[in-house]
Structure 1
Amino acid sequence: MNPDAPSLARGEALLRHGTRSDAVLPAEPAPAVQELGALVGFGQTWTSCSARASVYLFDGYYEASAAEVRLLKQVPEGQKGSGTVNGDWLIWATADATDEAGRAVIERVVSSFAGEE
């Protein structure tokens, strides 16, 4: 798969749907695209809490799912991590485990990413 403009636009739309009107800043995906074996990725952080979301495009659903499984096994102590796959796309979101607002953002963004766009 070639990460062309329509492909990237779909990933951005999936994330934007869950972001709503929250104030966010662009960020490098964490972990890095190369570390997960993704084709491309992008991220954002929230200004109101510790939440961070990274979105990755993979060659296919199975590659994205395998990356999600790896990430779930590597959540650092003191962090909450959650992800989901939508087609070739994976979203991975984290926040400080004690940050209630951040955990709520993660739940909303991941749920929205998995649903109907």
Structure 2
Amino acid sequence: MRPLLTLSARLALFFSLLLCACASNPPPRSPVNLNDPFLRRGEALLRHGAGNAEFSPTEPTPAVQDLGAQAGFGRRRTASSIRASVYLFNNYKDARVAEDWLKAHVPQGLQGDGTVNGDLLVWVTADATDATAGAVIEDLIGSFAGEE
């Protein structure tokens, strides 16, 4: 007769198997739902601020969950180091708190700026050495701030 595993041994085995399964084949990421009217508005504001510059989809930086947002998306400019992330928050106050935190914690080697428009926050970064990025960042921020 085989000895039965204790409850703690079963849990340890379960979590070990779960960890191995996740590490070898991470679950697919859910696509950003740009059908949400707030995110569509954010996408439109970003396109407006970008002018003729081409942006391609990327992950928002920092990640949505790291910032405490409900949802978000990222874009990067193909011809430079500029990255824009748009986040949707529960309310204006939460978005402002996140904006203040981001401005106080710009990673070394980057320049960054952001602004809040209602429940949306846009955060734009570029390499600190990218001299032409400042004007593009200003245009993107201006679009979200209502200076279109």
TM-score, length of structure 2 as denominator length? 0.73
User: Paired residue for 1:52, among 83, 91, 97?
Assistant: 83
Residue 40 of structure 1 corresponds to: 71
User: Paired residue for 2:107, among 41, 57, 76?
Assistant: 76
Q: Distance in 2 between matches of 1:40 and 1:46?
A: 21
- Higher mean C-alpha displacement, 4-13 vs 35-44: 4-13
Q: Distance in 2 between matches of 1:83 and 1:8?
A: 16
In the TM superposition, 1:1-117 aligns within 5 A as 5-115=36-146
Letter of the structure 2 residue corresponding to residue 82 of structure 1: D
- Higher mean C-alpha displacement, 30-39 vs 93-102: 93-102
Unmatched segments (≥5 aa) in structure 2: 1-33
Could you tell me whether the CA contact under 8 Å between 2:57 and 2:74 is conserved in 1?
yes
What's the CA shift string for 1:68-111, capped at 9, x where partnerless? 01101110122101000000000000001110122221111011
List structure 1 segments (4+ residues) > 6 angstroms apart after TM superposition. Answer: none
Q: Distance in 2 between matches of 1:57 and 1:106?
A: 19
Q: Distance in 2 between matches of 1:6 and 1:75?
A: 29
- Pick the structure with more strand per residue: 1
Structure 1 pair 4–63 and aligned structure 2 pair: CA distance change class (3 A): farther
Larger radius of gyration: 2
Q: Distance in 2 between matches of 1:79 and 1:5?
A: 30
Q: Give the length in aligned residue pairs.
A: 115
Give the C-alpha shift of residue 29 in structure 1. 0.3
Give the C-alpha shift of residue 5 in structure 1. 2.2
Q: Percent identity?
A: 57
Task: Compare relative contact order (CA 8 Å, sep 6+) and give the higher one, 1 or 2.
Answer: 1
TM-score, length of structure 1 as denominator length? 0.92
